[in-house]
Every structure is written in C-alpha cells, then in structure tokens.
Structure 1
Amino acid sequence: MLLRLRVRLPDRPGSLGQVARTLGVTGADIVQMIVLERVGGRAVDDFTVIWPAAAPVDRILAGLGAIPGVAVEGIWRSTGGAPAIGGADAELVGQVAASADGGIATLVDAVPGLLSADWAAALVVPADWASAAENGGTTPGRAAVAYASWQAPDPLTMPDVAPLRPRAFGGADGMLFAAAPFGRGGVVLLVARSGGEADLPVPAFHTTEVDRLAQLVRACGLVLGDRLDGLVGASAGSGRGHRPIDWPVNPSGSGLASMFDR
C-alpha cells in the first residue's frame, strides 16, 4: 500500500538523508518527497512510500522517533496513488478545457489524487451567504452539492465553506477540508481528508497545498467561464452528480496504489 508521511525535521545538511535512510531500513520504499516549508531552521516534508500492508506502521514511527529533532506529524493512506506534481496541474487544466462533460467533473475527480485526499466536491453557495452571516443567520455558506467525486460519502453532509476564500479548516468527526472559490456563481471546490494510521491524526491541509488548490481553481475557472453558471441550476435539480469511476491524474501512480492495496 501507499502511505503518506508528514515529517518535521531540522533544516540542516544531513537531516533529510537520515530520514531517508531510516525509512529504507524500516522497509519503506520512497516514491516521492515534497518540501512543504522551510522556516526558522525547521523543515516540513511529505513522503509517499510503498509499505507492506501486513507490516505494523509503528516500525516507521519507532525508527524516525530515534532521530534527534525529527517528529512525525501524521501518517495516512494515499488512496489515489502518489500525489501528482510537476506538470500535472497544467495537464489537468488542459483536460478540463477539452472535456465534453463541461469540465467540472474532470476537475473534481482529479483533485483528490493531486493532494492525497479522500474526495472532493463542487459546491454552490447561496448568493445571500454574506448577508445571512451579517444578519445572524445560523447556516451562512451552507452549500448545495453540484458534483461529488466517486469516493465521497453518500449522503454527503457539507460543512459551512464561508467565508469564500482559499483556506483549510476542520469539520466534524476529525474530517479536514480545504476550499477554494472559483470567483463566480458561488461555486466552491472542496477537498476532504480523514483517517490516520497508528493513532496519529491526519495533518491539516498545509498552506502550500491550499495555495496549489487555489491556483488550480483560478486557472480552471478561467477555462470554464460561463459553464460554471450552469452548475447553479444543476445543483437545484438532482442535488448531486456522481461518476462512479476513478479519474487519476497520475495513471502510473494510481496503478501502483491498486497493486499494493491488494
């Protein structure tokens, strides 16, 4: 199976090498490493590793915990394969532009794989969300679901996504979210992550991940244009779209995930 690890470590020569060697000794095969931040002499890195499904994850924690200054902030399964990086975002924007289904389904189904998340949904927020908040409304920003990815729970209980700006926030039952508005029609892209390994909580979406989501949404918003306005009417109808297939941005990564989850 594929695991994602978020590790905080000293930002000095040799620290990353120690972490990589220790992961190898414990039996983890590193397939990807992403630097999330480097601040004040500390770094936060995300590792995606291949890990034997029958092996206890505590082995990784024990190994990394023995390195001075290293702390594991979270371990969770990467269900969509290794998170796509490099030119994957630009490729996805192209797929959205060329999609015959309007593009929003292509975007929603692909985003969880980009951010190692569980599911995503395109939401339509009522036009009066701001005035509802100002007047003491109890559910400002409560959104209707226009389209949800295939792994989203059904029925889908949505959190309040107001204020409409790119941000990360927590929800009920330990669910973690990142949201980014398209800037028109009250349409918002929501991404969700939950469930950790070895009793460690899943870490919140990092600022780097939220920024990446916001940039992707802005680009796709320009490509989709008036098609976003059509989601408002669609959300008032059936209430939820769904395509019951995976739509990986990184086909090779998703193939690895399915291979090692067996």
Structure 2
Amino acid sequence: MMLRLRVSFPDRPGALGQVARVLGTLGADILQVTVLEREAGRVVDDFTVSWPGAFDPEGIRDRLSAAPGIRVEAVWRTREIPGTSPDYDLLRHVATEPGRAFATLVDAIPDLVSAEWAVAVSSESGDLVHRSWQAPESLDEQGGLSGVKAADLTALRPCALTAGRHRFMSVPVPDAGLHLVLARTEGPSFHRAELDRAVRVVELVSIIGHRPAPRTPQGV
C-alpha cells in the first residue's frame, strides 16, 4: 500500500537521514520526498512510501514520533505514482483537446495534490459544472456535503479551508466564471505549497482553454 506521511523535523544536517532510517526500521520503502517548507528551524516534508503493514495512522504516527525531534503531522493513503509527471500529462491532454480543458482539469488534478476528488463550480450560481468520478453530485445538504455551502467554496482568492471532515482547496479559474474545488477526507489540510502548485496548473489550463481554435485554410 502507498501512503503519504507529512513529517516535521529539525532543519539540521543529518536530520533527513534520521527520518529515513526510522522509516527503514519500520519496513517502509521511501519512493519520493517532497519539501514543503523550511521555517523557524524546522523542515516539513511529504514522504511517499510503500508501507508493508496495515493502515494504522495512529500507530504509524506514534512509532515515528518516538524518535527525538520527529513530529508526524499526518498519514494518509495516496494514489500518486512517484516518478511520474501528472502535471505535464494533464497539460498535454488539455493542449490536445482545448475544448475540454476544464473537464480534463477536474478529472486529472486530484492526483497532482493527493486529493480524493474535484469539481468545477459556477462562481455565480454555485452549481456544479464538472465533477470527477468520486465527487458528490451536489454541494447542498440534500444531495451532497452536509453543512457545506457553495458560497464558502468560491472565495475571490485561492484558499484552503476545512468544513466538517473535509479539507478543501478552492482556486478561481481565470476568465472562466468557475472555481476549482478539491477535497480530501484523509490527511491534513492542503499545504500552501500544494495550493501554489494547483494555482499554476489552473492558470496554464485557463490560458490553453481560452486559446482560439486554429483556422482551417480556405480550399482545404
């Protein structure tokens, strides 16, 4: 099983190696390390690992946190395949078929930031315009997410927020009248590094999606 672990540890030489050794003693195979931040003398990294045992977030957290200086912020399952470039693949598909740019974005972007699902919401009406296969059919209490209001997910600026058991990311789509909303129920709130990555991808998709279709030469 593949897991993602968000780990904080001291920003000093050898600390990353210490985390790797602890993971190794627990039988985890480190597949990828993503640096999220370095502030106030500490580092926060996401480790994607192949985990040999059962999925026991509290047990994994306790075993890792027993090492001096190591603090596990979250443990959750991930579909991300280390070593791939899903952002490039997404942009290639969008460039190939720009007429489906935003639908393709919604289908593909969850894997970029370890989200469970995504939807495109109308900025004006709050209606769902596109949704990935795991997303609810609506965002109201009757058919979708209890206690979640569409207005809370359509902020003017990119943001991360929590509502109930869901962690959300909301990103306005430039010049499209849409908001991209991503969610996960496992794991921590979206980090600002994940938010920044999604914003850059959304901006590029918006540019490609609004590009005029090439004209067919007359007489062809």
Place the TM-score, normalised by the shorter chain, in its bin. Answer: 0.7 to 0.9
Question: Is 1:156 matched with 2:144?
Answer: yes
Distance 2:66 2:207 in 1: 48
Q: 1:188 to 1:125 in 2, by over 3 A?
A: same
Give how far 1:57 is off: 4.4
> 1:202-255 CA deviation, whole Å, 9 max, x = no partner?
21111111111111101100111179xxxxxxxxxxxxxxxxxxxxxxxxxxxx
Report SS of the residue matched to 1:102: helix
Paired residue secondary structure (1:96)? helix
CA drift at 1:105: 2.0
Residues matched between the structures, number? 203
| Structure 2 residue 177 is the aligned partner of structure 1 residue 186 | yes
Q: Percent identity?
A: 44
Distance 1:55 1:222, change over 3 A: closer
Deviation at 1:50?
Answer: 1.2
Residue 165 of structure 1 and its aligned partner are, at CA, apart by 1.1
Q: How do residues 67-106 of structure 1 correspond to structure 2 at under 5 angstroms?
A: 67-78=67-78, 80-82=79-81, 87-99=85-97, 102-106=100-104
Q: CA deviation at 1:189?
A: 0.8
1:144 maps to 127
Once the two structures are superposed, residues 162-193 of structure 1 have per-residue CA deviations (whole angstroms, 9 ceiling, x without a partner) of 3221111111x220111111122321111101
1:90-239 matches, cutoff 5 A? 90-99=88-97, 102-126=100-124, 143-154=126-137, 155-157=143-145, 159=150, 160-171=152-163, 173-195=164-186, 202-225=187-210
1:93 maps to amino acid: L
TM-score by length of 1: 0.71
Check the 8 A contact 1:182/1:189 in 2, yes or no. yes
Distance verdict in 2 for CA 1:70–1:53, change over 3 Å: closer
Q: Which has the higher strand share?
A: 2
The CA distance in 1 between the partners of 2:16 and 2:183, in whole Å, is 29
Question: Is 2:4 aligned against 1:19?
Answer: no
Query: Is the deviation greater in 100-109 or in 51-60?
Result: 51-60
2:57/2:76 contact within 8 Å kept: no
Instruction: Report the Cα distance in structure 1 between the residues aligned to 2:98 and 2:176, rounded to whole angstroms.
Output: 21
Gaps of 5+ in 1: 127-141, 196-201, 228-262
Name the residue aligned to 2:215: none
Tell me the TM-score normalized by structure 2.
0.84
The CA RMSD over aligned residues, in Å, is 2.2
In the superposition, relative to structure 1, how do residues 50 and 161 fare at CA in structure 2: closer, same or farther (>3 Å)? same
Question: Mean Cα displacement is larger for which, 49-58 or 17-26?
Answer: 49-58
Kindly indicate whether structure 1 or structure 2 has the higher relative contact order, using CA contacts under 8 Å at least 6 residues apart: 1
Asked whether the equivalents of residues 6 and 74 of structure 1 are also in contact (C-alpha less than 8 Å), the reply is yes
Compared with structure 1, are the counterparts of its residues 21 and 190 closer, same or farther at alpha carbon in structure 2 (3 Å cutoff)? same
User: Runs of 5+ in structure 2 lacking a partner?
Assistant: 138-142, 213-220
Return the offset for 1:75: 0.8
